Structure 1
């Protein structure tokens, strides 16, 4: 399937020129910044010089005052507090930050992560019953709870209060908790809406520190390594507050990480400074693997470990879980793709809904993503556990899979999530009806363009404009991630020389334009698809990212090719 190249809209020439003069950068640099909403000196200063003083006042968030007062009351009365969180990266980092912080002041404390297989996602009756049995009177619920109204009410009958810290979309009717911290509440005036669950936990603790005159630098900021892991792994927008916390979280992670993250970094084989991509593909999957294969308690214990020896033991255990997860992932993906290939109706559909009762529940979200990569359409992978069918949904840019699932609510037991990723449960007898309804909704709403893979290109660039001064501006735009992606450029026409194939699959060459010197370029896995386009001496188009290549101490710039088209 050929990619669509979409060149982002260009701000007005007046705006670009004004910023070029104001901060003394090239026109290309100014265009990159204005595309990201940075159009004047003060905005550029905030962007390039992030500071923790730029974080918003946490008390702007609806119910924050109530949440802090209830926590102060619990600590003052030595109540038993349970920190409750989801079993994914965002949930386990959320639990680790709140539990780890409260340990500094309060000993009557426990944490609880539901079992993915026996309890499922979010707040469970089993978890509430355990809290009641152990004398808990306050549950701080993180990265879940916003759709658990009945269970929160049940907890109240047992004398248990809830403080909910969640970032998922709420229903029209909110749970009757003591406090609900969620910027996506319609009545919440908080100016930044894209916090992770862990980020909301951080804001709660920031408010507690401010109210009680506790040093943020000493008490709270050392937990920013956990916050950046949640931001990266949960794929939330890296703008505004998230960008500030990610910036300082990466510093913490690289120069003074907690023992658990240090052990995980070592066991993942990272030797250079970590960035968002390293967390997404190296750290996050290992933390997730604990809850996918065994129990996420191990992930929280790793993140709370006080010694390197303790952390090393948990890291090894989680790494074994990750290897097992990879095996299930490969096997299930192979079966899922075969089901599509062998069924003409599935091949021609606008969506994919697959069900197999013995698929491993811990990998269905990953498999859904793999199917989207292959067939590029909204996908839901379903499996069965304890006589209930559970599913994970993934979408394509521009299509709101959560809204499509919401229109099938009468066929579901439970659902929740975001625009591009969601979870759901339903009875087995409703699977076929759900598949048909979901396909009808998707077919009616999705556009032909949304079913074609796209590459967003920031701007067209001449190869002569690529130099270290320009690259250093790009470096200062880090950390990269959703809504602040690493820039992608397009150049045309270009020519190739010294073309060669590496390891049978990778395309390596030197590219140039009329009047420019050569610059090295590499396209991973592109030899079979694009070799003929670059070996005939004809011009072609490339889209690419600019990266730094260090070889034996020699630093050069290199193009990381994303796609090639004939000119």
Structure 2
């Protein structure tokens, strides 16, 4: 682990903000590191408001999209809402379809089969639309590169509205409207929305035609918050506002499907981390193990008892998914060792019977052991299909683009991608990918890094500080949970290992004459000897609140010690 202290912003900026907000310098430092430099910036950050959302009509083609939907309604056309099988896709389909159905009945949904059709718009989905007299498809979280598919639909007199957030290619599909803030010719003020976020902008625009304000649409924000959290988009700007109010909906009045999922895990109040680790994997499990339709059924169900039935089925899929990912990770790690590939710059593994629904998770698991760009392949029909995951700072999408001559197709973004190739090209691709990464990756990127926001003493950890830090939520990329470094600390003699295989570490730590603070280090059980016999050590940690028997106390969540 590399410990890197973030560069300190200019003293002038820190002093100015600390004075304006009446906070300690190091709190002002945390804010300036997040791009918050004025009282007004801080006010917007600490008091998110729905008024901070942009006018949806600032997005290129929004007028065209709304006009085409209104025309479809006027002409009594059948509309198909199409989206991918992951959290972003299924929440987006649930959001747009359930909104349209509040005032127009001729709306169907379609989620492609992960195994039969794969990622994105499918010819099979277009054939389904053609067979069912559908003349308008609204594609969410996909479609920006589907030039052939949109042309195929056009031949069948089917129009497309594409709502995507992935990077476009040089040529755009010939669609009735394309909503994608990453288009070069789109001047929308915020280009980091997820697919469900763009779906929300679409219903915001449709709603404004019906005299609805954004306040009238807040009941849809539980879906948007789930997508923002799961898709790992920056927690800035509109995403942070949508997630903030979406969390409120999740914790106060969620739709029956989300209520049923939360009911399964019996947790009172959820934060964004709970959405990432509790809600998102369960929504994802439907598409991974069975079919993404099950997630849409759950998220659009208005009867709570029926939603509970769907949720318990999804709970089973999630349990199956966990077993599979454990087993395949074990097999993949053995393969890396057996093939003597532990010293490579990449991990590329293949086994024909690996479950396609969990290979992305397995790629992330392998990175926990071998920290490097990773691809996990399985057999899909007569092709090899893979999920790619990357390490911090390395653009795996660009690396795949450089090896494109060996691939049938690929798509994705900097840290996660998917691809297919012909069996005979696997070895060639594997070596080309290794060579490309070797030539372009900085050696430091192959060592996991902990970024530290500030060095503090335990005396600085006050109730006031924890109250302020709580208002930094929701956390996510570009607004991560603050990480602190404290030196010269000692365990008070209560150190013990916890959990399966003694994997975790529980301490009670002090610095100088400070009061002791409980600390938990997940996965740090092997570092216990550094803390014994009153030996001083350094720790990097986040400050958590721990709730036990109705009492709330401060606890440190250790990330590393040395």
TM category (shorter chain) comes to: over 0.9
- How far off its partner does 1:132 sit? 0.5
- How far off its partner does 1:517 sit? 2.6
**Partner residue of 2:329?**
333
Superposition pairs for residues 92-491 of structure 1, below 5 Å?
Answer: 92-218=90-216, 220-267=217-264, 269-344=265-340, 346-491=341-486
d(CA) in 1 for partners of 2:108, 2:277 = 30
Q: Secondary structure at the match of 1:537?
A: coil
d(CA) in 2 for partners of 1:248, 1:342 = 50
CA contact (8 A) 2:493 2:533 kept: no
CA contact (8 A) 1:232 1:276 kept: yes
CA contact (8 A) 1:20 1:26 kept: yes
d(CA) in 2 for partners of 1:157, 1:460 = 63
d(CA) in 2 for partners of 1:191, 1:354 = 41
- How far off its partner does 1:524 sit? 2.3
Q: Secondary structure at the match of 2:228?
A: helix
Query: For structure 2, which runs of at least 5 residues remain unmatched after alignment?
Result: none
**Partner residue of 1:54?**
52
Deviations 1:22-57 (A, max 9, x none): 011111211111110111100000000100110011
**Partner residue of 2:4?**
6
CA contact (8 A) 2:146 2:173 kept: yes
CA contact (8 A) 1:464 1:516 kept: yes
CA contact (8 A) 2:493 2:534 kept: no
d(CA) in 2 for partners of 1:92, 1:121 = 13
d(CA) in 2 for partners of 1:156, 1:202 = 26
**Partner residue of 1:518?**
516
C-alpha spacing 1:270/1:11, structure 2 compared with 1 (3 Å): farther
| TM-align CA RMSD | 1.1
- How far off its partner does 1:490 sit? 0.2
- How far off its partner does 1:512 sit? 2.0
Q: Secondary structure at the match of 1:471?
A: helix
Q: Secondary structure at the match of 2:489?
A: strand
Q: Secondary structure at the match of 2:36?
A: coil
CA contact (8 A) 1:85 1:112 kept: yes
Query: So what's the TM-score if we normalise by structure 1?
Result: 0.97
d(CA) in 1 for partners of 2:81, 2:546 = 45
CA contact (8 A) 2:497 2:528 kept: no
Deviations 1:441-498 (A, max 9, x none): 0000111100001111111011110011011000001001111111100011222212
- How far off its partner does 1:502 sit? 4.1
CA contact (8 A) 2:384 2:423 kept: yes
**Partner residue of 1:32?**
30
CA contact (8 A) 1:169 1:416 kept: no
- How far off its partner does 1:508 sit? 2.2
**Partner residue of 2:548?**
551
CA contact (8 A) 1:390 1:425 kept: yes
d(CA) in 2 for partners of 1:65, 1:550 = 49
CA contact (8 A) 2:147 2:172 kept: yes
Count of matched residue pairs: 559
Query: So what's the TM-score if we normalise by structure 2?
Result: 0.98
C-alpha spacing 1:216/1:516, structure 2 compared with 1 (3 Å): closer
